[in-house]
Copies of this chain bind each other. A is one copy, B any other.
Amino acid sequence: MTQPAAHRRASIADVARAAGVSVGTVSNVLNRPERVLPGTRERVEAAIEELSFVRNGSARQLRAGTITTIGAIVLDIANPFFTDVARGIEERLDRDDFTLMVASSDDDPDREQRYLRLFEEHGVQGVMVVPATNNIEHLLAVRRRGTGVVLLDQPSSDPSISSVAVDDVRGGELAAHHLLDEGHTRIVFLNGPHTIRQCADRHEGVVKALAAAGLDPATALVEITVTSLNAEGGEAAIRGLLESGDRPTAVFCVNDLVALGVLRTLRTENIAVPTDMAVVGYDDVAFAAELSTPLTSVRQPTHELGVRAADLLLSGPDSAAEHVMFQPTLVVRGSSSTVAG
Protein backbone atom coordinates (compact mmCIF):
# COMPACT_ATOMS: atom_id res chain seq x y z
CA MET A 1 0.00 0.00 0.00
CA THR A 2 1.10 3.54 -0.62
CA GLN A 3 1.85 6.02 2.12
CA PRO A 4 -0.48 8.79 3.06
CA ALA A 5 0.82 11.89 1.30
CA ALA A 6 3.93 12.79 3.28
CA HIS A 7 4.67 16.45 3.49
CA ARG A 8 8.38 16.16 2.81
CA ARG A 9 9.69 14.11 -0.03
CA ALA A 10 11.68 11.09 1.00
CA SER A 11 15.42 11.57 0.84
CA ILE A 12 18.22 9.14 0.29
CA ALA A 13 18.74 9.08 4.04
CA ASP A 14 15.15 7.95 4.58
CA VAL A 15 15.65 5.16 2.11
CA ALA A 16 18.91 4.16 3.74
CA ARG A 17 17.25 4.00 7.13
CA ALA A 18 14.35 1.96 5.82
CA ALA A 19 16.63 -0.50 4.07
CA GLY A 20 19.12 -0.66 6.92
CA VAL A 21 22.08 0.47 4.87
CA SER A 22 24.16 3.62 4.53
CA VAL A 23 23.42 6.52 2.23
CA GLY A 24 26.47 5.66 0.16
CA THR A 25 24.98 2.28 -0.63
CA VAL A 26 21.68 3.78 -1.72
CA SER A 27 23.55 6.14 -3.99
CA ASN A 28 25.42 3.17 -5.42
CA VAL A 29 22.20 1.31 -6.09
CA LEU A 30 21.03 4.36 -7.97
CA ASN A 31 24.18 4.98 -9.96
CA ARG A 32 26.36 1.85 -10.05
CA PRO A 33 24.07 -1.04 -9.18
CA GLU A 34 26.66 -3.61 -10.20
CA ARG A 35 28.78 -2.70 -7.22
CA VAL A 36 26.08 -3.74 -4.84
CA LEU A 37 25.26 -7.28 -3.76
CA PRO A 38 21.95 -8.39 -5.33
CA GLY A 39 20.36 -9.01 -1.93
CA THR A 40 21.23 -5.57 -0.66
CA ARG A 41 20.17 -4.01 -3.89
CA GLU A 42 16.75 -5.58 -3.69
CA ARG A 43 16.23 -4.36 -0.17
CA VAL A 44 17.14 -0.85 -1.22
CA GLU A 45 14.93 -1.01 -4.28
CA ALA A 46 12.04 -2.16 -2.13
CA ALA A 47 12.58 0.77 0.20
CA ILE A 48 12.69 3.17 -2.74
CA GLU A 49 9.40 1.79 -3.98
CA GLU A 50 7.85 1.84 -0.54
CA LEU A 51 8.76 5.46 0.14
CA SER A 52 8.17 6.43 -3.50
CA PHE A 53 11.53 8.10 -3.45
CA VAL A 54 12.50 10.47 -6.25
CA ARG A 55 16.01 11.76 -6.59
CA ASN A 56 16.41 15.42 -5.89
CA GLY A 57 17.80 16.74 -9.15
CA SER A 58 19.08 19.94 -7.61
CA ALA A 59 21.16 18.17 -5.01
CA ARG A 60 22.40 15.70 -7.56
CA GLN A 61 23.42 18.40 -9.94
CA LEU A 62 24.91 20.58 -7.24
CA ARG A 63 27.24 17.81 -6.29
CA ALA A 64 27.86 16.16 -9.64
CA GLY A 65 28.08 19.33 -11.66
CA THR A 66 26.86 18.47 -15.12
CA ILE A 67 23.51 17.93 -16.72
CA THR A 68 22.82 16.67 -20.22
CA THR A 69 20.22 19.21 -21.11
CA ILE A 70 20.34 22.01 -23.56
CA GLY A 71 17.94 24.90 -23.82
CA ALA A 72 16.52 26.67 -26.80
CA ILE A 73 14.94 30.11 -26.80
CA VAL A 74 12.93 30.94 -29.87
CA LEU A 75 10.93 34.03 -30.77
CA ASP A 76 7.58 32.34 -31.13
CA ILE A 77 6.80 28.76 -30.38
CA ALA A 78 3.72 28.91 -32.61
CA ASN A 79 5.76 29.71 -35.70
CA PRO A 80 6.28 26.58 -37.82
CA PHE A 81 9.70 27.78 -38.81
CA PHE A 82 11.00 27.54 -35.27
CA THR A 83 9.29 24.27 -34.49
CA ASP A 84 10.75 22.72 -37.63
CA VAL A 85 14.14 23.87 -36.46
CA ALA A 86 13.37 22.42 -33.03
CA ARG A 87 12.64 19.05 -34.61
CA GLY A 88 16.05 19.13 -36.21
CA ILE A 89 17.68 19.96 -32.90
CA GLU A 90 15.84 17.15 -31.13
CA GLU A 91 16.82 14.64 -33.74
CA ARG A 92 20.49 15.42 -33.34
CA LEU A 93 20.33 15.64 -29.56
CA ASP A 94 18.65 12.26 -29.26
CA ARG A 95 21.70 10.59 -30.70
CA ASP A 96 23.73 11.78 -27.73
CA ASP A 97 20.96 11.24 -25.19
CA PHE A 98 20.65 14.91 -24.54
CA THR A 99 17.42 16.49 -23.60
CA LEU A 100 15.88 19.64 -25.04
CA MET A 101 13.87 22.32 -23.29
CA VAL A 102 12.20 24.95 -25.39
CA ALA A 103 11.12 28.38 -24.25
CA SER A 104 9.58 31.21 -26.18
CA SER A 105 10.74 34.80 -25.78
CA ASP A 106 7.87 36.28 -27.72
CA ASP A 107 10.28 38.85 -29.24
CA ASP A 108 10.70 40.30 -25.79
CA PRO A 109 14.31 40.92 -24.68
CA ASP A 110 13.29 40.78 -21.04
CA ARG A 111 11.71 37.39 -21.44
CA GLU A 112 14.73 36.21 -23.36
CA GLN A 113 16.96 37.40 -20.57
CA ARG A 114 14.80 35.70 -17.96
CA TYR A 115 14.88 32.35 -19.70
CA LEU A 116 18.56 32.66 -20.46
CA ARG A 117 19.25 33.28 -16.81
CA LEU A 118 17.05 30.35 -15.82
CA PHE A 119 18.89 28.02 -18.15
CA GLU A 120 22.28 29.29 -17.07
CA GLU A 121 21.55 29.12 -13.37
CA HIS A 122 20.39 25.58 -13.78
CA GLY A 123 23.60 24.65 -15.49
CA VAL A 124 22.47 23.53 -18.90
CA GLN A 125 25.29 22.40 -21.11
CA GLY A 126 24.43 24.95 -23.70
CA VAL A 127 21.76 27.17 -25.04
CA MET A 128 20.56 28.03 -28.51
CA VAL A 129 19.07 31.43 -28.94
CA VAL A 130 17.25 33.30 -31.62
CA PRO A 131 18.02 36.73 -30.18
CA ALA A 132 15.19 39.20 -29.82
CA THR A 133 17.57 42.11 -30.38
CA ASN A 134 20.79 42.45 -32.31
CA ASN A 135 22.68 43.26 -29.18
CA ILE A 136 24.27 40.03 -28.06
CA GLU A 137 26.38 41.38 -25.22
CA HIS A 138 24.43 39.31 -22.71
CA LEU A 139 25.03 36.16 -24.75
CA LEU A 140 28.74 36.85 -24.88
CA ALA A 141 28.69 37.10 -21.13
CA VAL A 142 26.97 33.74 -20.84
CA ARG A 143 29.54 32.24 -23.17
CA ARG A 144 32.41 33.69 -21.14
CA ARG A 145 31.01 32.14 -18.02
CA GLY A 146 31.31 28.73 -19.59
CA THR A 147 27.91 27.87 -20.99
CA GLY A 148 27.81 26.92 -24.65
CA VAL A 149 25.95 29.35 -26.85
CA VAL A 150 24.89 28.95 -30.44
CA LEU A 151 23.05 31.66 -32.28
CA LEU A 152 20.14 30.25 -34.16
CA ASP A 153 19.07 31.81 -37.41
CA GLN A 154 21.42 34.67 -36.75
CA PRO A 155 24.97 35.11 -38.01
CA SER A 156 27.28 35.83 -35.13
CA SER A 157 28.79 39.26 -34.90
CA ASP A 158 31.40 37.88 -32.56
CA PRO A 159 34.00 35.30 -33.51
CA SER A 160 33.77 33.49 -30.16
CA ILE A 161 30.14 32.51 -30.59
CA SER A 162 29.06 29.88 -33.05
CA SER A 163 26.13 30.55 -35.28
CA VAL A 164 23.92 28.82 -37.75
CA ALA A 165 22.00 31.07 -40.02
CA VAL A 166 20.48 31.56 -43.41
CA ASP A 167 21.47 34.49 -45.56
CA ASP A 168 18.52 36.82 -45.04
CA VAL A 169 19.88 39.61 -47.17
CA ARG A 170 20.00 37.16 -50.02
CA GLY A 171 16.49 35.99 -49.16
CA GLY A 172 15.10 39.51 -49.34
CA GLU A 173 16.97 40.04 -52.57
CA LEU A 174 15.56 36.87 -54.11
CA ALA A 175 12.01 37.87 -53.26
CA ALA A 176 12.33 41.45 -54.48
CA HIS A 177 14.24 40.49 -57.57
CA HIS A 178 11.51 38.06 -58.47
CA LEU A 179 8.78 40.67 -58.04
CA LEU A 180 10.70 43.14 -60.19
CA ASP A 181 11.14 40.45 -62.81
CA GLU A 182 7.40 40.06 -62.82
CA GLY A 183 7.10 43.68 -63.82
CA HIS A 184 6.32 45.35 -60.52
CA THR A 185 7.97 48.69 -59.90
CA ARG A 186 6.85 49.29 -56.36
CA ILE A 187 6.89 46.81 -53.49
CA VAL A 188 5.17 46.88 -50.15
CA PHE A 189 7.13 45.01 -47.54
CA LEU A 190 5.21 43.85 -44.47
CA ASN A 191 8.12 43.49 -42.13
CA GLY A 192 8.81 43.05 -38.45
CA PRO A 193 10.78 45.58 -36.41
CA HIS A 194 14.40 46.09 -37.43
CA THR A 195 15.49 45.23 -33.95
CA ILE A 196 14.97 41.68 -35.14
CA ARG A 197 18.00 41.08 -37.28
CA GLN A 198 16.22 38.86 -39.80
CA CYS A 199 13.82 41.68 -40.52
CA ALA A 200 16.55 44.25 -40.96
CA ASP A 201 18.52 41.96 -43.25
CA ARG A 202 15.59 41.07 -45.45
CA HIS A 203 14.90 44.74 -45.79
CA GLU A 204 18.48 45.33 -46.81
CA GLY A 205 18.15 42.62 -49.44
CA VAL A 206 15.06 44.24 -50.85
CA VAL A 207 16.77 47.62 -51.04
CA LYS A 208 19.73 46.01 -52.73
CA ALA A 209 17.55 44.41 -55.40
CA LEU A 210 15.73 47.67 -56.04
CA ALA A 211 18.96 49.57 -56.37
CA ALA A 212 20.36 46.97 -58.74
CA ALA A 213 17.28 47.47 -60.91
CA GLY A 214 17.87 51.19 -60.97
CA LEU A 215 14.92 52.01 -58.75
CA ASP A 216 14.96 54.46 -55.88
CA PRO A 217 14.05 52.62 -52.67
CA ALA A 218 12.63 55.84 -51.27
CA THR A 219 9.75 55.67 -53.70
CA ALA A 220 9.74 52.08 -54.90
CA LEU A 221 9.59 50.56 -51.43
CA VAL A 222 6.97 50.96 -48.75
CA GLU A 223 7.82 49.23 -45.53
CA ILE A 224 5.08 48.57 -43.01
CA THR A 225 5.84 47.16 -39.60
CA VAL A 226 3.33 44.52 -38.58
CA THR A 227 2.10 44.44 -35.02
CA SER A 228 2.78 40.73 -34.70
CA LEU A 229 4.57 38.28 -36.92
CA ASN A 230 1.59 36.08 -37.62
CA ALA A 231 -1.62 35.89 -39.64
CA GLU A 232 -3.37 38.48 -37.48
CA GLY A 233 -0.49 40.88 -37.99
CA GLY A 234 -0.62 40.36 -41.73
CA GLU A 235 -4.35 40.85 -41.84
CA ALA A 236 -4.23 44.06 -39.84
CA ALA A 237 -1.42 45.50 -41.95
CA ILE A 238 -2.97 44.80 -45.33
CA ARG A 239 -6.32 46.03 -44.13
CA GLY A 240 -4.79 49.29 -43.00
CA LEU A 241 -3.10 49.61 -46.33
CA LEU A 242 -6.29 49.04 -48.30
CA GLU A 243 -8.24 51.45 -46.16
CA SER A 244 -5.63 54.12 -46.75
CA GLY A 245 -6.45 53.80 -50.43
CA ASP A 246 -2.90 52.88 -51.35
CA ARG A 247 -3.25 49.61 -53.19
CA PRO A 248 0.12 48.18 -54.24
CA THR A 249 0.60 45.57 -56.94
CA ALA A 250 3.15 43.55 -54.99
CA VAL A 251 3.43 42.58 -51.34
CA PHE A 252 6.36 40.83 -49.78
CA CYS A 253 5.71 39.33 -46.33
CA VAL A 254 8.38 38.68 -43.77
CA ASN A 255 7.02 35.21 -43.15
CA ASP A 256 4.38 32.82 -44.39
CA LEU A 257 2.06 33.36 -41.46
CA VAL A 258 1.86 37.05 -42.29
CA ALA A 259 1.33 36.10 -45.93
CA LEU A 260 -1.47 33.79 -44.84
CA GLY A 261 -3.23 36.70 -43.21
CA VAL A 262 -2.76 38.79 -46.32
CA LEU A 263 -4.13 36.12 -48.64
CA ARG A 264 -7.08 35.60 -46.35
CA THR A 265 -7.91 39.28 -46.40
CA LEU A 266 -7.45 39.69 -50.13
CA ARG A 267 -9.80 36.80 -50.71
CA THR A 268 -12.56 38.30 -48.58
CA GLU A 269 -11.98 41.64 -50.29
CA ASN A 270 -12.17 40.02 -53.71
CA ILE A 271 -8.77 41.15 -54.78
CA ALA A 272 -7.33 38.67 -57.27
CA VAL A 273 -3.92 37.17 -56.64
CA PRO A 274 -1.58 37.49 -58.46
CA THR A 275 -3.28 39.59 -61.15
CA ASP A 276 -4.41 42.44 -58.90
CA MET A 277 -1.79 41.88 -56.30
CA ALA A 278 1.21 39.57 -56.11
CA VAL A 279 2.20 38.07 -52.76
CA VAL A 280 5.48 36.53 -51.69
CA GLY A 281 6.10 34.92 -48.33
CA TYR A 282 9.09 33.63 -46.42
CA ASP A 283 9.94 30.23 -44.84
CA ASP A 284 8.08 27.99 -47.27
CA VAL A 285 6.16 26.25 -44.52
CA ALA A 286 4.45 22.94 -45.16
CA PHE A 287 1.15 24.40 -46.26
CA ALA A 288 2.51 27.09 -48.60
CA ALA A 289 2.13 24.95 -51.68
CA GLU A 290 -1.42 23.93 -50.82
CA LEU A 291 -3.04 27.29 -50.37
CA SER A 292 -5.85 28.43 -52.63
CA THR A 293 -3.29 30.52 -54.38
CA PRO A 294 -0.11 28.57 -53.85
CA LEU A 295 2.30 30.85 -52.10
CA THR A 296 5.61 31.89 -53.58
CA SER A 297 8.07 31.76 -50.72
CA VAL A 298 11.70 31.86 -49.76
CA ARG A 299 12.71 28.44 -48.53
CA GLN A 300 15.13 27.89 -45.71
CA PRO A 301 16.70 24.58 -44.71
CA THR A 302 15.01 24.51 -41.30
CA HIS A 303 15.67 20.96 -40.32
CA GLU A 304 19.30 21.11 -41.32
CA LEU A 305 19.60 24.38 -39.44
CA GLY A 306 18.55 22.67 -36.23
CA VAL A 307 20.80 19.67 -36.77
CA ARG A 308 23.86 21.80 -37.39
CA ALA A 309 23.15 24.01 -34.41
CA ALA A 310 22.94 20.96 -32.16
CA ASP A 311 26.13 19.64 -33.73
CA LEU A 312 27.99 22.78 -32.84
CA LEU A 313 26.74 22.79 -29.29
CA LEU A 314 27.60 19.15 -28.73
CA SER A 315 31.06 19.54 -30.20
CA GLY A 316 32.01 20.99 -26.85
CA PRO A 317 33.03 24.32 -25.45
CA ASP A 318 36.65 23.94 -26.45
CA SER A 319 36.25 23.48 -30.16
CA ALA A 320 36.56 26.65 -32.17
CA ALA A 321 33.47 28.64 -32.92
CA GLU A 322 32.00 28.06 -36.33
CA HIS A 323 29.79 30.20 -38.45
CA VAL A 324 27.53 28.28 -40.73
CA MET A 325 25.60 30.17 -43.34
CA PHE A 326 22.99 28.45 -45.45
CA GLN A 327 21.60 29.89 -48.63
CA PRO A 328 17.88 30.32 -49.13
CA THR A 329 16.11 29.50 -52.36
CA LEU A 330 13.06 31.00 -53.94
CA VAL A 331 10.12 28.75 -54.68
CA VAL A 332 7.90 30.43 -57.24
CA ARG A 333 4.22 29.57 -57.15
CA GLY A 334 0.92 31.02 -58.21
CA SER A 335 0.70 33.88 -55.72
CA SER A 336 3.24 35.93 -57.61
CA SER A 337 3.33 34.61 -61.13
CA THR A 338 0.74 33.52 -63.65
CA VAL A 339 3.17 31.21 -65.35
CA ALA A 340 4.24 29.30 -62.26
CA GLY A 341 3.06 25.76 -61.57
Contacts and interface: CB of A to CB of B under 8 A. Distances in A.
A102 to B, nearest CB: 5
Interface residues of A, number: 56
Contacts of A231: 286
Q: How many monomers of this protein are in the complex?
A: 2
A56 B121 contact: yes
Given A2-B144, A5-B146, A90 B62 contact: no
A194 interface: no
A239 B292 CA distance: 22
Nearest to A2: B144
Contacts of A115: 99
B83 A141 contact: no
Contact of A287 (B59, B61, B144, B291): B291
A87 B82 CA distance: 14
A273 to B, nearest CB: 11
Contacts of A144: 2, 5, 52
A286 B263 contact: no
A100 B103 contact: yes
Residue of A62, A121, A290 with most partner-chain B CB within 10 A? A290
A123 B55 CA distance: 10
B286 A146 contact: no
Nearest to A121: B57
A21 interface: no
A80 interface: yes
Nearest to A294: B292
Nearest to A115: B99
Nearest to A111: B94
Nearest to A8: B146
A196 interface: no
A80 B260 CA distance: 14
Contacts of A204: none
Interface string A43-59: 00000000010111111
Contacts of A56: 62, 121, 123
Contacts of A90: 77, 104, 106
5 contacts: A9-B146, A54-B117, A77-B87, A77-B90, A260-B286
